[in-house]
């Protein structure tokens, strides 16, 4: 009953009269006709062999599958040379969901050249049986949620840097992920950190033929969603691009906070209280002991990513220029302590002697200048 109340509360908050506006889907028949990549004549079972279940999502079950070799016997299916795929299996006649499946497929087809994005190969839409199949790359790796507590600080830095780099590429193509969270980031740690983004189920294109379109729908995971997703509102054409891409930046900030603090910055017993925390003008996470235990450079980056106003957040191109990613600030492989230059350490000690453990904004800006970060790029405060 408690979970049902939470679902009802969420539905009222996001889909009620005072909630967000939902873009209605166009007629699904017209959509399918326009999708050249969609397999409407060939059935999934004629092209692939369905195998065991490996996962489950909000609207789909994920299973392994094998492509049926042309003009080969069934015995060849057991050959080790047969490539393994994953397939999202949907069963729905809801035009909104089917429309989203097709849109997601088309978006991901535009990202095939980005190795950090899970590749998508085929889409089968069957309106008679209501069974639909999206064939994607099979990735046998854990997700970030499962392993982040075991990562060294260097590995966490590399993870965030790779995430930012791939998001920058996606944003450059006018696409926003909109559901960044540790569960949607697969990760390999050996020999080096390699990530792969999955689940573009709520992604949207926010730039089409030089025209900007609003894409504010009640999607994504609440705990990683930006304030503007709940606040809504219209923006001018220049603002919409920054506004939309900034949603992913906020999510990166939440993920970074989680990696460094081993907890989430916004979390309450009810959905409404959680959203109230996220949209607060004075976010309480900055007073938490977990946040205060971080060093000044770590705190600064998090605060610049979790700005309430989307235009004040760093862009995906600006984030890697932050001193947290500098080689001189990288950690030693055997230590979780931040290594700073001697001048920086001396400056921090001087500040500490003057004002204790906290430093003022101006003093911290002096620290940034000493690292020559301020000379490289100007950021909105």
Residue 89 above 90 pLDDT?
yes
Q: Assess contact for 101 and 112: CB atoms under 8 A.
A: no
Assign 27 to helix, strand or coil.
coil
Q: How many helices (H) and strands (E) does the chain have?
A: 14, 12
The confidence score (pLDDT) of residue 201 equals 63
pLDDT tens-digit series, residues 296-328: 999 999 999 999 999 999 999 999 999 999 844
* Distance in angstroms (rounded) separating the CA atoms of residues 357 and 363: 12
pLDDT, tens only, 126-173: 988 899 999 999 999 999 999 999 999 999 999 999 999 999 999 998
Is 68 within 8 Å of 77 (Cβ atoms)? yes
Q: Which residue(s) pair with 88 in the sheet?
A: 62, 134
Query: In whole numbers, what is the pLDDT of the chain averaged over residues?
Result: 74
C-alpha closest to that of 253 among 295, 308, 172, 173: 308
Domain boundaries defined on the chain:
26-137, 144-325, 340-381
User: Higher confidence at residue 254 or residue 239?
Assistant: 254
Which residue, chain included where needed, has tokens 């920054």?
242
For residue 262, is pLDDT > 50? yes
Q: Domain 26-137 maps to which CATH number in 1.10.260.40, 3.30.200.20, 3.90.1010.10, 1.10.630.10?
A: 3.30.200.20
Q: What is the mean pLDDT of residues 183-200?
A: 93
**Residue 183's pLDDT is what?**
93
**Tell me, what's the pLDDT at 366?**
53
Q: What is the pLDDT of residue 50?
A: 94
Pairing mode of beta strands 131-137, 120-125: antiparallel
pLDDT given for residue 245 in this prediction: 85
What pLDDT does residue 80 have? 54
Q: What is the pTM of this model?
A: 0.71
Task: Give catalytic status of residue 179 as yes or no.
Answer: yes
How far is residue 190 from each of residues 116, 153, 187, 353, measured CA to CA in Å?
Answer: 16, 15, 9, 42
* Most confident of the following: 220-229, 238-247, 295-304: 295-304
Of residues 20 and 255, more confidently modeled: 255
Q: Are 143 and 182 in contact (CB under 8 A)?
A: yes
Interval 287-297: pLDDT, tens: 999 999 999 99
Output the pLDDT for position 31. 37
Q: Which CATH superfamily is domain 144-325 in?
A: Transferase(Phosphotransferase) domain 1 (1.10.510.10)
Task: Please pick, among 27, 93, 122, 179, the residue that the annotation labels catalytic.
Answer: 179
pLDDT given at position 97: 84
Q: Is the pLDDT of residue 374 over 50?
A: no
Please give the C-alpha separations between residue 254 and each of 170, 182, 223, 307, 325, in angstroms, as whole numbers: 19, 10, 8, 11, 17
Tokens of 230: 């709940």
Residue (of 310, 139, 174) closest to 229 by Cα position: 310
Report the alpha-carbon distance of residue 12 to residue 16 in Å, rounded: 5
CA 38, 25, 276, 251: dihedral to nearest 10 degrees? 20
Reference 206, options 160, 164, 238; nearest CA is 238
User: Among residues of the chain, what percentage have pLDDT more than 70?
Assistant: 64
């Amino acid at each position: 009953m408690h979970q049902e109340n939470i679902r009802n509360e969420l539905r009222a908050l996001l889909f009620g009269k005072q909630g967000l506006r939902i873009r209605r889907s166009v007629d699904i028949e017209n959509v399918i006709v326009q999708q050249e990549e969609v397999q409407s004549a060939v059935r999934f079972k004629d092209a692939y062999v369905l195998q065991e279940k490996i996962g489950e999502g909000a609207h789909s079950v994920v299973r392994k599958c094998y492509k049926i070799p042309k003009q080969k016997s069934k015995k060849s299916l057991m050959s080790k040379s047969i490539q393994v795929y994953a397939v999202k299996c949907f069963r729905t006649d809801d035009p909104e969901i089917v429309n989203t499946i097709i849109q997601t497929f088309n978006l991901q087809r535009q990202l095939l050249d980005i190795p950090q994005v899970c590749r998508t190969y085929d889409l089968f839409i069957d309106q008679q049986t209501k069974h639909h199949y999206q064939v994607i790359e099979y990735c046998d790796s854990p997700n970030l949620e499962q392993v982040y507590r075991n990562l060294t600080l260097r590995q966490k830095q590399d993870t965030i840097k790779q995430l930012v780099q791939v998001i920058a590429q996606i944003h450059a193509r006018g696409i926003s992920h909109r559901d960044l969270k540790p569960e949607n980031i697969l990760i390999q740690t050996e020999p080096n950190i390699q990530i792969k983004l999955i689940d573009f189920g709520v992604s949207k294109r926010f730039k089409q033929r030089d025209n900007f379109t609003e894409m504010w729908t009640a999607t994504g995971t609440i705990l990683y969603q930006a304030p503007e997703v709940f606040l809504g509102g219209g923006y001018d054409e220049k603002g919409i691009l920054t506004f939309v891409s900034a949603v992913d930046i906020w999510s990166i900030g939440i993920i970074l906070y989680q990696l460094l603090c081993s907890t989430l910055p916004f979390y309450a017993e009810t959905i409404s209280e959680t959203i109230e925390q996220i949209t607060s003008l004075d976010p309480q996470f900055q007073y938490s002991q977990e946040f205060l235990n971080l060093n000044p450079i770590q705190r600064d980056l998090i605060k610049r990513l979790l700005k309430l106003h989307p235009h004040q957040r760093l862009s995906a191109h600006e984030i890697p220029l932050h001193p947290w990613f500098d080689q001189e600030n990288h950690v030693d492989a055997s230590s979780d302590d931040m290594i700073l230059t001697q001048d920086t350490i001396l400056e921090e000690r001087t500040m500490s002697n003057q004002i204790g453990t906290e430093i003022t904004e101006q003093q911290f800006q002096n620290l940034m200048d000493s690292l020559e970060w301020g000379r490289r790029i100007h950021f909105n405060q």
